[in-house]
Amino acid sequence: MNRRKAIPGSTSATGRARVPRVSREAQRERNTQAILEGAWVTFCEKGYEGVTLDAVAEYAGVSRMPVYWLFGDKQSLFFELWKKVIAEVLQQMGQRMRASASLRSNLEALAKFATDTRTQPESPHAESLFFVVQTVALSRPDIAEKLRKISNDTVETFTGFIRTSTLAEGERLRGSAASVAAHLIAHINGLSTVQFQTHRQFVKAKDLTEIFVAIALKGAGP
């Protein structure tokens, strides 16, 4: 009896379609994304303290092993999730600010983004996640170091927007681009803290634009 050998990637000797083999790298990436998505949902639903890695694994549809293998522990998983969210926020912000546009218009775009309720987390636990990472870093020097790097990178990102923005006649920065960037970030962080603690938004985009302009510029009228 003649037996036909199956052609890889097509059909087996029994005539059944062969399932393409997934590379280890693709499998790792798929598991990573599934776990991070599962972590976001479970952390938002239950808060940091109410989540276990088993619960994340169950929601992500994977066993416990990929979670421990890829992230190690709950604190590290939480930090990676926080880092992912921050990167997405910076990307959204960058889409609203334009290189070579006036600094005033970019500050206005930043103020609108910071006060846009559509960019705010809907879950009652979601906002708290941005503050938990600071507590986690207190007991984890490795995470604290990574957090410092992200903070420095964020300042550099803001600094880049300021440096590539144009100034109107008579306008000058109140300090170096990096110093202005740091002050803007500090104000946004402070505003976020107040909003988180009170569950209220006190500042409108127009008012925040004026504050940003006062922080960044001197030598020109409002």
Q: How far is CA 122 from CA 65, 117, 197, in A?
A: 31, 9, 15
pLDDT tens-digit map of 189-221:
888 777 777 777 788 999 999 999 999 998 655
pLDDT of residue 59: 92
pLDDT of residue 218: 87
Residue 5 has pLDDT above 50, yes or no: no
pLDDT of residue 73: 95
SS3 at position 176: coil
pLDDT of residue 98: 85
